[in-house]
Amino acid sequence: MHSNSLLRFIPAIVALGVATAAFAAGSAARRPNILFIYADDQSYKTLSCSDGGPDWVRTPNIDRLAARGVPWYAMLRDGKYKYVRNLVEGEMEELYDLDADPEELKNLAVQPAHAAGLRQLREKTVLELKRTDAKFVDRMPRTRAELAR
């Protein structure tokens, strides 16, 4: 394996180390509740809970987590902007100018000057989810901005 290939596993190794340390430090009565899933380029259609994949796809453990309400998100990049919609009721959307802020440190969704662009990206995201037959699109929880209306 090439040394650069090993670099992509560093976040997983660090997370595993943190989880192990937290587990070792906790008493039997206070075990941490940590779930670590590492997936690369996985489509939502490769989860049987998404109702979008082939019949032979079975992911019963992930399906149980999804049924209990594991938060997910939808994301869309449009030119220099990246839009993130957390799929948790009342959560704030995220909007980043990737040219000016490649580290995604400044959420433009809170700025009134970006309200129209935010609305457009929200609508484009819904249209893209419908185009790709994402079964959850009509059941998405409302964003903080939608609840405020």
The number of distinct structural domains making up the chain is 3
**Shared domain check, 135 and 85:** yes
Q: CATH number for the domain including 138?
A: 3.30.1120.10
**Shared domain check, 58 and 80:** no
Residue 109's pLDDT is: 96
Q: In what order do the strands lie in the sheet with 73-78?
A: 73-78, 81-86, 94-97
**Shared domain check, 101 and 130:** yes
Residues of the chain below pLDDT 50: 1, 27
Domain that holds residue 66: 43-70
**Shared domain check, 149 and 113:** yes
Q: What tens digit of pLDDT does each residue of 46-85 get?
A: 777 776 667 787 888 877 777 766 557 889 999 999 999 9
What are the angstrom distances between the C-alpha of 132 and each of 23, 51, 53, 110, 125? 40, 12, 11, 29, 11
Q: What is the pTM of this model?
A: 0.56
**Shared domain check, 142 and 88:** yes
